[in-house]
Homo-oligomer: A and B are copies of this chain.
Amino acid sequence: MATTIQPIPSEPGELGERELRAWRGLLRVHATLSKALDAELEAEHDLPLTSYEVLMYVADAEGERMRMCDLAESILLSRSGLTRLIDRLERDGLVCRTTCSSDARGSFACLTPAGRAKLNAARATHLAGVRRLFLQHFGPEEQELLASFWERVLPGAAPKR
């Protein structure tokens, strides 16, 4: 299989140039942007990115509260990781836990006024960051295309809201 230049997917034992750039680019973009967005949020609002995500999902949920397990799934964290994260947010007064009346095992995380205020302050920073570092580079139809790409890779995993 003598690939003269590199027209085809290259040998099966190695990624071709094109594949490499498509895949590694994803890794680099994710790593770089996550780090930058986290640093920005932390610098301007003293709020780690994961904490921001919790506040955001909770704020957007029905009644400004979410079950622990749903939250864990939304922000892609293990349940134990989420327990600890909510511990920290509760300690800082940004969320509080309430019991679930229909299932005594469950807890809700809900926003406190301080949490809502923190989120409102941080939201603009984060959204501006996402736009400036990422979305800005793509036109509407390109964004749509990207979304369809992700849908191919993970069918049905699109965020509901």
Contacts and interface: CB of A to CB of B under 8 A. Distances in A.
B30 A30 contact: yes
A19 interface: yes
Contacts of A138: 3, 22, 149, 152
B29 A154 contact: yes
Contacts of A127: 12-15
Copies in the complex: 2
Given A135-B19, A146-B22, A28 B76 contact: yes
Contacts of A22: 134-135, 138, 143-144, 146-147, 150
A142 interface: yes
Binding site secondary structure of chain A: helix
Given A9-B140, A19-B135, A137-B152, 20 more contacts: A3-B139, A3-B140, A3-B141, A3-B142, A6-B140, A9-B131, A15-B130, A15-B135, A21-B146, A23-B135, A25-B146, A25-B149, A25-B157, A26-B30, A26-B146, A26-B150, A28-B76, A30-B30, A32-B157, A134-B153
7 contacts: A7-B140, A19-B143, A22-B147, A23-B130, A26-B30, A29-B150, A138-B152
